[in-house]
Structures are given as C-alpha cells and as structure tokens.
C-alpha cells in the first residue's frame, strides 16, 4: 500500500514523503526507482599466463617474466625441443583473468584478436613489402610469410579451443599492407572464476611475428569494455648441435729449442712421434713442412717458435666449447634484423675426443663406403654408441674437428656426409697464426659447413649473395661479414630448415617439404 508520512520541522513546515511499501509475508522491502540503481562497474581483463613461449633471448627457454614482454614461440617442438608427433600442430596457451569480483560471466565473452607487426628487417630480400632498394623502405606489417597457419585437423585457424568453449572464429590472414589489420579472431567463454583461455596456432616460418589482444566484450551490446595484449611473439626454431673433436696425441718431438734459430727456412723444429704425423699447433710464423703436416718447420724469421705438442689434447675447433657456441649464436641467432635467422643453437658433446686419424679422406658424394662416412657412423658415437645403422636424432646436427684432409690450405671443411660437418684444423693453422685470425676463421668455417646441412641448399650457399661485398661463401671471412649470413640466405634459412632427419634423408621427394616452404 502507499503510505504518506509527515512531520513538522520548524514553524508551519510540512514535509511529506511518499514511500511505497510492498506487502511481503513476514518481510518488508523498500522500492527504489531504477534510475537510482548504481551502474555495474566496468569489466577488467589482464593476461595472466602464456604457456609455451620463451624469453626473447637466445639460449634462454624459460617463460618471459610477464606475458606483456616480447617472447619467442618455437616451431614444431615442445618445451624440451623434441619434435611433435605431427607437423603444423604447434601452439601456445593464453589465459586471462577478468574482474571485478562481482562480474557476471554469462554477460561477457573474451574476444581474441591477432595482428601481424612489421618484420624488424628492412632489406628487400628479407622483408620485401617495406619497399627498400635494397634497404630504407617504409615499415609495413602484414608481412608474415605464412599468411595463415598450415592446415591441421582443426583447419587453418589461428585460435583453437583450450579450456573454454570457443566460437565465432575467423582467419582472413595477413594482408601484406598493415600491422593494424586483424588477421584472426575468436571468442571464448568465461568461467565462474572469471577466467578464460585459448590456444594460439601459428605459422611455420621463422621470423613470422604476432601480437595477440584479449578484449572483454559485453555480449548484449557488443561493447569492448577493456583489453590487454601481448608483446611481439616471434617464431623461432630450436636446434641441437653435437660437438666432437678428434683425439690429439702428445708424442711429437722438439727438434729445435724454442727461441733458437734453424739453419734455413726448411729447418724442422718439431718432428712427429710414432704415428708419423706432427700433431702440434703452430706458433708465430712457423709452418707445416708439407700438406700432411708431417713436421713443423721454422718460418721466415728462421727461429723456432712452436713447442712440441702445443694445442691441447684434441682437435677442437675454436679451442673451447664455449667459443663454438658463441660463434653459432652470432650467426644463427643474430640480433641484427637483416641477419636474423631465428634459429637458437643448443650445443652438446656426446664424446669430445674421437678416434685419432692422421689424414681423413674426404667424401665427394653420398657413398657409404668412403672413409669419411665410416668415421661418421662408427667413431663419433653419434649413431647410438657407434652402431652403423642407427638413425640421426631429430633436430640435431654434428660438427667434428679433425686433424686434416691431407691437402692443408685447400680444404678447410666439408659437409658431404649430412648431418655431419668437419673442420680441418691443420688447414687453418697453416694459413693463420694462433692468436691472430685463426680462431675467428675456424668459427666461420664451422658456421658455413653446418649451413650446408641446416639449409639443405635449394640455392647454393656459396652464392649469389646480397648485398655486396658478399662474393664468396656465406659464413666465412672471404664473404666480408664474419660468421653472419647475407640477407638472401637469411631468408632461405628462415624458410627451409627441415624438422627431422627423416625429412633430410628424403628431401627431394618428401611430400611435406614439397607442399610448403618449411616444416
């Protein structure tokens, strides 16, 4: 019923208030006009976790400190680096937390959107849509090589269901013109704890990059009430490199004391031991006496500078394992945009010192009976304890430092026996002084020879190159760029690194390799 209440407040002042009282059994309630109800607080949303991304730094595979930092997303591998059972199934999990505490989950949905930011490179061979000639063009996004993810059992969509129902998926793909274009989207439900999640499925090409935005969407009106987004997420590959080094005997003999002059430029200052070969690394301007390095002779100053058995117990490229890894990172994980291959090397050693062999006979083709092939299968323990017929581990390449191929100064390395690469140490020491350019040159040879196995050469890595002064071999001092790759071959390495040795072994007729640029 309606009830009027009045009271006197001061002289002759009548104050009346109209109150609506509802008759409710055993209770009383007061009605307040709708216009006086306080509006609901706006929606809040924040990225709480990204599972599967790694820090934006080579060699660091832990998640970013927070989900807004730039991160790396890896191709066809789980966190430990193993190959997924099926290609093109790579994805990461994104989760958001919504608020405030009284939020009605049924009234909202999370809208997920992905954009394609500009590749940081500007060379026409790496990022052609910038319009550089060859560099200095206008930065444009929408330039991912894979405009859409490759086909999977769930179709070519960027977003896939995780722990919450998904709907309204659309994936128009990169348009080649702008980083503002939404290239994929979906909506997910919100649970009673005000959480929502989605899986992001990305393309195959190293260097492709994405920014993912999560929007709190009011279902009734379509209003976007709040949003949060990731940093730039860039596709990388993780590859394993096994390092071996041939054992280096210590039986050489000092023939001329260090600091003492020889009779002439042909005087031998270090002679071989029982194996008939000198296994001593050179000092100063001393030289090997012949192509096989059977002895060490004095150089132009006629003085003996090399102590017998100098150089440690093995033919290890770059003298230290850490230097090998540093050289690999400088080339394949370069932070220079036009040199960035987006391949993260992990270096391991199965058996650092392998069987000594004075002269290795280089293989010139795929012939399992050559000395180099036999040594690869049996002496390196790379095929499961030396068994000749064991297969290569997935995602793994091998580099081996050897004494020499017997043509010192003419063959610095070889990579015919994929995925094995060899570095001839005597060839380097013959041409360069230890402590001079020897170490950096060995690093470049290591990078170059591994490149033959990694790239699988749809186009010869010896040339042509871009830009000048690349006129010889990528990844070598002759190319003028140290251990880095020219932009032309950077693009090929990004697009054509195979995912397993089954692919390598059948790379000519492998359906997955012929159907798309890369696994």
Alpha carbons 201 and 149: distance in angstroms, whole number: 7
Position of tokens 């191929």?
405
Backbone phi, psi, residue 54, to 5°:
-125, 165
pTM of the model: 0.84
Alpha carbons 348 and 262: distance in angstroms, whole number: 43
pLDDT band at 10, cuts 50/70/90? very low
Alpha carbons 106 and 95: distance in angstroms, whole number: 18
CA terminus-to-terminus distance, the chain: 77
Q: Output the CA torsion 333→334→336→341 (10° steps).
A: -50
Task: Please tell me whether residue 97 adopts helix, strand or coil conformation.
Answer: strand
Q: Mean pLDDT throughout 102-116?
A: 96
Do residues 397 and 450 touch, judged by C-beta distance below 8 A? yes
Provide the H-helix boundaries in 338-437. 371-378, 425-431
Counting beta carbons within 10 angstroms of the beta carbon of residue 461, is it exposed (0 to 12), middle (13 to 18) or buried (19 or more)? buried
pLDDT in tens, 470-506: 555 676 655 445 677 888 888 888 887 765 555 544 4
Query: How many angstroms separate the Cα of 473 from the Cα of each of 138, 402, 444, 462, 483?
Result: 30, 21, 10, 4, 10
State the chain's mean pLDDT as an integer: 80
Query: How many angstroms separate the Cα of 174 from the Cα of each of 142, 146, 182, 200, 241?
Result: 5, 8, 8, 15, 34
Looking at per-residue confidence, does 437 or 288 come out higher?
Answer: 288
CB atoms within 10 A of CB 285: 14
Position of tokens 């993912």?
212
Alpha carbons 434 and 296: distance in angstroms, whole number: 14
**438-455 and 321-332 are packed helices; what angle lies between their axes, rounded to 10 degrees?**
60
Q: Mean pLDDT throughout 252-279?
A: 95
Strand partners of residue 198: 94
Do residues 286 and 299 touch, judged by C-beta distance below 8 A? yes
In this prediction, what percent of the chain has a pLDDT beyond 90? Answer: 42
Strand partners of residue 317: none
pLDDT band at 394, cuts 50/70/90? low
Alpha carbons 28 and 480: distance in angstroms, whole number: 90
Do residues 246 and 352 touch, judged by C-beta distance below 8 A? no
Q: Is the pLDDT of residue 20 over 50?
A: no
Beta strand segments in 310-469, E: 343-348, 353-354, 396-402, 413-414, 420-424
């Amino acid at each position: 019923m309606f009830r009027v209440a009045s009271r006197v407040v001061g002289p002759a002042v009548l104050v009346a208030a109209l109150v609506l009282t509802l008759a409710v059994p055993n209770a009383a309630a007061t009605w307040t006009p709708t216009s006086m109800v306080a509006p609901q607080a706006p929606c809040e949303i924040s990225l709480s976790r990204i599972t599967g991304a790694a820090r934006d730094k080579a060699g660091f595979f832990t998640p970013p400190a927070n989900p807004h930092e730039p991160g790396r997303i890896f191709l066809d591998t789980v966190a430990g680096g193993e190959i997924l059972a099926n290609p093109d199934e790579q994805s990461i999990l994104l989760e958001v937390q919504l608020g405030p505490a009284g939020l009605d989950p049924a009234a909202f949905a999370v809208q997920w959107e992905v954009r394609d930011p500009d590749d940081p490179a500007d060379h026409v061979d790496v990022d052609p849509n910038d319009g550089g000639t060859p560099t200095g063009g206008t930065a444009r996004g929408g330039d991912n090589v894979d405009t859409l993810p490759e086909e999977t059992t769930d179709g070519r969509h960027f977003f896939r269901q995780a722990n919450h129902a998904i709907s309204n998926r659309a994936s128009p793909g990169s348009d080649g013109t702008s980083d503002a274009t939404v290239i994929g989207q979906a909506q997910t439900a919100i649970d009673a704890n005000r959480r929502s999640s989605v899986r992001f499925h990305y393309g195959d090409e190293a260097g492709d990059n994405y920014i993912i935005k999560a929007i709190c969407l009011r279902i009734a009106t379509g209003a976007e009430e709040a949003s949060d987004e990731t940093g730039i997420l860039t596709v990388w590959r993780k590859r394993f490199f096994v390092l071996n080094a041939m054992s280096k005997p210590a039986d050489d003999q000092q023939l001329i004391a260090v600091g003492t002059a020889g009779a002439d430029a042909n005087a031998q200052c270090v002679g071989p031991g029982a194996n008939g070969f000198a296994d001593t690394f050179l000092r100063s301007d001393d030289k090997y006496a012949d192509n096989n390095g059977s002895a060490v002779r004095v150089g132009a100053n006629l003085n003996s500078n090399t102590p017998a058995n100098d150089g440690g117990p093995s033919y290890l490229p770059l003298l230290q394992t850490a230097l090998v890894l540093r050289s690999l990172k400088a080339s394949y994980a370069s932070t220079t945009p036009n040199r960035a291959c987006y391949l993260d090397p992990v270096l391991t050693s199965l058996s650092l010192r392998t069987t000594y062999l004075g002269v290795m006979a280089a293989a010139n083709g795929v012939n399992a009976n050559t000395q180099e092939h036999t040594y690869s299968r049996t002496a390196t323990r790379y095929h499961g304890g030396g068994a000749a017929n064991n297969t290569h581990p997935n995602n793994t390449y091998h580099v081996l430092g050897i004494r020499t191929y017997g043509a010192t100064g003419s063959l610095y390395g070889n990579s015919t026996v994929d995925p094995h690469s060899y570095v001839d140490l005597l060839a380097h020491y013959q041409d360069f002084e230890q402590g001079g350019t020897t170490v950096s040159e060995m690093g470049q040879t290591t990078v170059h020879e591994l490149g033959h196995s990694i790239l699988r050469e749809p186009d010869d890595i010896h040339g042509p190159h871009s830009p000048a002064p690349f006129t010889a071999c990528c990844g070598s001092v002759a190319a003028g760029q140290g251990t880095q790759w020219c932009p032309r071959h950077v693009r090929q390495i990004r697009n054509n690194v195979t995912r397993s040795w089954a692919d390598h072994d059948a790379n000519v007729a492998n359906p997955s390799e012929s159907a798309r640029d890369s696994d």
